[in-house]
A and B are shown apart, each in its own frame.
Chain A
Amino acid sequence: MKRVRFGVIVFPGSNCDHDAHHVAGAILGQEARFIWHKEGSIGDVDVVIVPGGFSYGDYLRCGAIARFSPVMQDVVRFAKRGGLVIGICNGFQILTEAALLPGVLLRNASLRFSCKDVQLRVERTDLPWTNRCTTGEVLRVPIAHGEGNFFAEAETIKRIEGNGQVLFRYAEPDGRLTEASNPNGSINNIAGIVNEQGNVLGLMPHPERASDPALGNTDGRKIFDSLVAAVLSTHAGALVAPAERN
């Protein structure tokens, strides 16, 4: 059986790299490999995961140094060709620094690091990331960040909202968007966005922490299951990569 090839980028200071690898490999039964940040090429992979952690200690600014790592040149090339790239937490910050995604992630409104379960409302299901979800479905997934407060200028917000680029929003368990359900002050309760083509996703919550039944919550696995289904159907010719569609 064809298996999806996941590549997990390892920067100095990445610390959720093993967690992502564990889900892709041991939990989903797909192929998972680590890609060292000094590599010039990501090699033959179907999906790139830019994992959470504190790349380069988050010194200067979260993700600001990691984007200059040799491997990121190839990740950008891969993304521009329509390759699937998911940035989780620090990975999301790196993708915005690398200009693969719009906006920035500011310090949490509380000015404190926050680690807890939050609820995410799924806004679209016609993308490779959420095809196993239903629109408006609410997933329980943990966050763990000090700088996850999504911000962009009004014009950019208008554009990404207009394009339907917001994939996840912080919500109440019943799906209502409230200030109380927003853990970090993000504009419009934005928790995760995609690029215009839909092949690059960045999100602050950690779906890889909610994928293993041994930990009592598998809501996050829906994102990985969606991904696997999307890649396998692409190989079967049923789904054209978004970039080629344009």
Chain B
Amino acid sequence: MLEIPYGMRDFLPHDAAIKRNIENVLADLFKVWGYDEVITPTVEYLDTLTIGNKNSMQRHMFKFFDKNNRTLALRNEMTTSIARLVSSRLQNEDVPFKLSYICKVYRYEKAQTGRQCEFYQAGVELMGNGEPTGDAEIVALAIKSMLKAGLGNFQVCMGQVAFINGLMQQWNLSAEEQKCIRTALEKHDLVKLEKAVSEAALTDDAKAFLRSLPMLHGDKTVLARAKAFAVNEQSRQALQNLQKIYEALQLYGVAEYVVFDLGVIRDFSYYTGMVFEIYAPGLGSPLCGGGRYDNLLADFGRKCPATGFALGLERLMLALKNQGKAECLTNNKENYVAYAAGHLAEAVEKAMVLRAAGEITELAGTAQKLAEAEAYCQKKGYVNLVYIQ
């Protein structure tokens, strides 16, 4: 058997059908929520993709050179490409932009089930809306995406980057201390956090609160608990912002899926406000994530608030399989039209009528005896045999 490169996969008909059907559901959903699809190139200049995200993503990118020796890279996510699009190609058009995509992205990482080096993302970006209602729309649409795809059991964890930034500011932590605490929170390394906090010049109350930050997880009482510590404007506003987003989510009727988690910090450094991740039981990593990134577009020369999410299609497929909800997304083979010698014309006509009605219909390749047609029909798993003689 011929090999394929590391981290790549084939989708055979069964899985390809499930994937396509999920994509169709999501594409329709994004459309009716008023999001227009955009398509950007798979290959971009490395410099473009690393604007605003100067962290370690670079070493996870597939890179190569063009004829002029400029470094190219395969896109590792879509948000940056869409930010480029909005600030260059669409620069004369008015905000807000509501854009969606379903496409392949690439990351040079250890391949695992549900996350190969080449994988599919579906997502939306809302640019030009800085209000909590914008964030609520994004979270609500992410939840609806899960529900529409058929997923029943999942949880949304919502946090706020500005809350943690505000806290660090109000306590006058040095840049070095901030970095140390932030890395520990991001990696959820509570042992490192403990060490960093105990070495920082802070009151005992502040230390205790920082230590408890990753444990601030639960319903809206979490916000009340956090409020006592939010002294400066930034951290207080961050909590108010979460409160408002939550109220709007109640209007959408999806608040039951949301828990607060003030320790959630996503891997991408461009987030500035609300962040969220969606988890399903049995999946070792989040299947959807997103949040507000108000500064990224300014890096491309067009200052504009923005929020969005991306979901991993393979991970969603895996979660649906785990919950027994994938099989109903396969294609139901409906009709096999076979014919006795001399009846091709009627057979073609019949097949075309069935196909026009949207039924999956295969027409026999040649004239067959009834017994042959029955055997084939059974082997291929068609529900109905239409035999014309």
Q: Do A and B come together as binding partners? A: no
